[in-house]
Amino acid sequence: MFSMTKGQIETQICEAIIKFEKGYMGRGPMETKAYILKDMIFIRLKGVLTLSEEQLAKTGDGAELIKKIRIQLLESARALLENMVSDITGCRVKSMHTDISTKTGERIIIFTLDQNLEDRFGA
């Protein structure tokens, strides 16, 4: 049996993502929630856009530019994020997917793992 509960792992992932966002992206989200769903970790971050990005997002070209830049920044940190998740979960990360909404200021990040984490908790 795994030494941490599902909730403890979700909390550690949230804390690590917030630390990453502040240190790597320059500011943290207003709210972060992580969910373990079988072999996936779904992370929802609210309030990730800066004030200048919110202004830029009011135009179609600006919104597209924000999406491209934010996705590229996360892609450049892929190894760091995957190692962070692996260290917390003890699983190998198979893939990472992300998107950001320039309308709501939310970002989602999904990690797929090489194991079903819920099996560790008897879920």
Taking only the tens place, the pLDDT of each residue in 92-101 is 999 999 999 9
pLDDT of 100 reads 95
| Cβ-based neighbour number of residue 113 at 10 Å | 20
Please give the tally of structural domains in the chain. 1
pLDDT of 110 reads 98
Q: Token match 């941490």: residue?
A: 4
Query: Residue 27 maps to which CATH number?
Result: 3.30.980
Q: Which structural domain range is residue 58 located in?
A: 6-115
Specify if 121 maps to a domain.
no
- CA 51/CA 40 separation, integer angstroms: 32
Low-confidence ranges of the chain (pLDDT < 50): 1, 123
pLDDT of 119 reads 83
Specify if 120 maps to a domain.
no
Q: pTM here? A: 0.91
